[in-house]
Amino acid sequence: MAVPRTFDLVFVLTVLYVCCVAGEPSGRILEGSDATTGQYPWVVSVRVDSAHIAVGSIISNSHILTSGHGLSQLASIPIAASRVSVRVGSINQYAAGQIVYVQSITIHPSYGNFLHDIAIITLSKPLTFTEKITSIPVASNVTDEQLVDGKEVSVTGWGLQLSGASPYKLQKITLKVLASEQCEYEAGYGYDSVLCLQHGVNQGISRGDDGAGVVYNKVLVGVASFFFGGGGTKFPDVTARVAYYDKWIKDVVSEKLI
């Protein structure tokens, strides 16, 4: 799990408890299954120095929505865009599809301590949409109101497996929304900007699933931010609630249109 640059005491003690008392299992989307070609055409592999570091979602022909922490040099200051690329149009993180380079990276200006952990990548050239490459709608307030406790959502990513190896094929899993009040009780993250996901032990997001899109009724409602311990613990996974950032996303996309 990536470590926040700044901490509050509750967060530190919780992470220490999970890692040291509950143990740290190997990270993975455990009990997930292989995605099929073209099933999730908006999902991309975000790459730094040619290595997969996160998952992203296509939200326009020139923009990818992902988490901020893997692209951060310091707080909301991003690493050099020249180091970043995305693989689109393939469920294989290592091959096929296209490698597209990046023009700029915009991390939410309030990013810190895994809050507001969201970023927009602007591509160097627009994508041509096909059956394997297309965008996904971004959640509105109307969609967000439907995300009540227990609603099922899908998450896809290339997170590590039980063996510690990174899968070549995109994995998919169904998780459940956890009410903000319950997430506050269980993990101290009942913020309006956060969407928490509940799962069984040895399930959930892991290293390599950072930035993975959380999808409800084919609408992007969350962006994977962090998990406790090595992933798969009894604690919920934490994602950025996309509808909370609706205006910011629209403003950045309109400013960065090629």
* Domains detected in the chain: 26-34+137-244 (2.40.10.10), 43-135+245-256 (2.40.10.10)
Helix (H) or strand (E) holding 120: strand 119-123
**Per-residue pLDDT at 94:** 95
Contact 114/196 with Cβ under 8 angstroms? no
> 148-169, pLDDT tens digit by residue?
999 999 999 998 776 677 889 9
**Per-residue pLDDT at 95:** 94
Q: Residue 185 is encoded by which pair of tokens?
A: 């009780």
**Per-residue pLDDT at 162:** 66
Residue with tokens 């073209």: 38
**Per-residue pLDDT at 143:** 82
DSSP string, 54-96: EEEEEEETTEEEE-SGGGEEETTEEPPGGGEEEEES-SBTTSS
pLDDT in tens, the chain (258 residues): 443 333 343 333 333 333 333 333 333 454 568 899 999 999 999 999 999 999 999 999 999 999 999 999 999 999 999 999 999 999 999 999 999 999 999 999 999 988 999 999 999 999 999 999 999 999 988 788 899 999 999 999 998 776 677 889 999 999 999 999 999 999 999 999 999 999 888 788 988 999 999 999 999 999 999 988 877 788 999 999 999 999 999 999 998 775
Q: Residue 126 is encoded by which pair of tokens?
A: 């627009």
> 10-62, pLDDT tens digit by residue?
333 333 333 333 333 333 454 568 899 999 999 999 999 999 999 999 999 99
**Per-residue pLDDT at 229:** 80
Q: Residue 218 is encoded by which pair of tokens?
A: 């084919």
Question: How many C-beta atoms lie closer than 10 Å to residue 101's C-beta?
Answer: 14
Q: Residue 140 is encoded by which pair of tokens?
A: 């509105």
Closest of 171, 157, 129 to residue 41, by C-alpha = 129
| Distance, CA of 87 to chain centre | 16
Instruction: Output the CA torsion 157→161→167→170 (10° steps).
Output: -30
